[in-house]
Amino acid sequence: MRRASVRLLLALLLAGLAGCVAQPSRRLIDASQVPPAQLARERALAAHTQWSLQGRLGVADAHDSGSGSLQWSQQGDAFRFTVHAPVTGKTWVLAGDAHGARLDGLRDGPVHGSDAASLLRREVGWQVPFAQLVAWVRAARAPGPARMSFDAQGLPAQIEQDGWTIRYGDYDLTCSPPLPRRVFASRGDERVRLAIRAWQP
């Protein structure tokens, strides 16, 4: 039971990647073709190291499915994910920074790890690209090879990186730079959906 619950939490946390979008097919381009506007957008996002979001999540993989609310706050390397599942009434909190991570809300009490990725790998046996999540959730590339496509407004419609396909829906144009309201991430059997209610960039 604990392992299944944490697997579901982990999938929800990948909503650092997530979303609920069906996009038409668009031409994917590699890094050498990324337009200057997106390069400037990514530089602006990288300069904003403190932000938070609130939203709702839906997730499914080969074994589990569920939904819940998410509050994600980021301050430089420090992060805090609070996930609440309304069906069970349970809340999980994953928090950490460059020096370690802690997972609270499990029946057997909190667990610790040297970092979020190793903590969740130890608990559930999954490899989680936390370093990429901060970029992907804001519709930017993480370091490393990636391909992208863009919508009619010149904003990211899709990113393919590290085996994940991340599709983006409408954007909150009141944010500067604009940030996605809907995201859909998939890798194999894993599906994560996020509808972002509010950004505080």
- Which pLDDT score is estimated for 71? 95
The domain 2-200 is placed in CATH, from the list 2.50.20.10, 3.10.20.340, 3.60.20.10, 3.40.50.2300, at: 2.50.20.10
8 A C-beta contact, residue 97 and residue 77 = yes
Which residues contact residue 121 at a Cβ distance below 8 angstroms, ignoring those fewer than 6 apart? Answer: 127, 128
Q: Is the pLDDT of residue 160 over 50?
A: yes
Q: Is the pLDDT of residue 184 over 80?
A: yes
The DSSP bridge partners found for residue 167 are 158, 184
The pTM is what? 0.83
Which residues contact residue 157 at a Cβ distance below 8 angstroms, ignoring those fewer than 6 apart? Answer: 23, 26, 149, 150, 151, 167, 168
Considering only residues 107 and 40, tell me which one the structure prediction assigns the higher pLDDT.
40
